[in-house]
Amino acid sequence: MSQATEFLTLLANAPAVLVRVQAHRGSVPRESDAWMAVFDQSCLGTVGGGQLEWQAMAQARVLLGDPSSAPVLMRYPLGPSMGQCCGGEVHLRYERVSAVDVPALRQQFDAVRARWPWLVLFGGGHVGAALVRLLASLPVQVQWIDSREGIFPLQLPDNVVSDLSEPVQLAVPSMPARALVLIMSFSHAQDLDVVAACLSRQRQNADLSWIGLIGSQSKWATFRNRLAQRGFTEAEMTRVQCPIGLHGIRGKQPEVIAVSVAAQVLQVLASGGKSADPLEMES
């Protein structure tokens, strides 16, 4: 369950004050759209921590005690007077909400999620499952694809959709435009077919942001030869990152690999489709 879903579930039974970062300037701890829900005895989410958050919680509880309170916008300079060294300023919007606001808030959260980038993950094995658990808390939408019945958990995170595709590469043409693609199926033959389908789509549309393939240098050398036999050029094959993961993160446990790959995904998103320092993973 995402924090947004948890918040709306709790809100159905008790009022809260929703605190959102509406604007900011300079160095600040959180970006716009960051939020915190303050209930009578608990809080969910964060607008940055530290003294800013303590003051925000105190202000929220004042408004929580007044059912007639209107939304309030307050400015917080993050300087010495607050004991924070960021130096910027944050504008927080406070809004008292209750069960009647759940439908509208759900639409707002869905609209924010719709702006998140897409990551398409091929492979429902141990590494794929560990990666999905980690991506559940990150601002990405995930399309999780496998060819095997019964491979996906019954309960998926709110930002994840699962798809069965047999053969698996038939899912490639319908992937969202500008998606990042991660390929880690149970079969090297499937991996090769998915990579080839992605390169064909790139040749035709050039609309995939990044293609990552789990494996070692030796696996990629073999794949390059086989892709060349299928007619792909060296220039086209440079679009594939293999190995994947960040250099220096050691270990072959699925969770360790997932952390390394998720960090690389964030790096790719921040840099507009480029990454460096791959971690060699035998596969």
Q: Output the 3-class SS for 27-46.
A: CCCCCCCCEEEECCCCEEEC
Average pLDDT, integer, range 231-242:
97
d(CA 105, CA 111): 10
pLDDT at residue number 278? 46
pTM for this one? 0.88
DSSP reduced 3-state for 278:
strand
> Residue 27 has what pLDDT?
86
Q: Tell me the pairing of strands 72-77 and 89-97.
A: antiparallel
Which pLDDT does position 124 carry in this prediction?
96
Q: What is the mean pLDDT of residues 167-181?
A: 97
Which is nearest to 36 in space by CA: 23, 54, 12?
54
DSSP annotation of 12 reads T
The predicted model gives 37-47 an average pLDDT of 96
Q: Which residue has the higher pLDDT, 278 or 175?
A: 175
The pLDDT confidence band at residue 280, using thresholds 50, 70 and 90, is very low
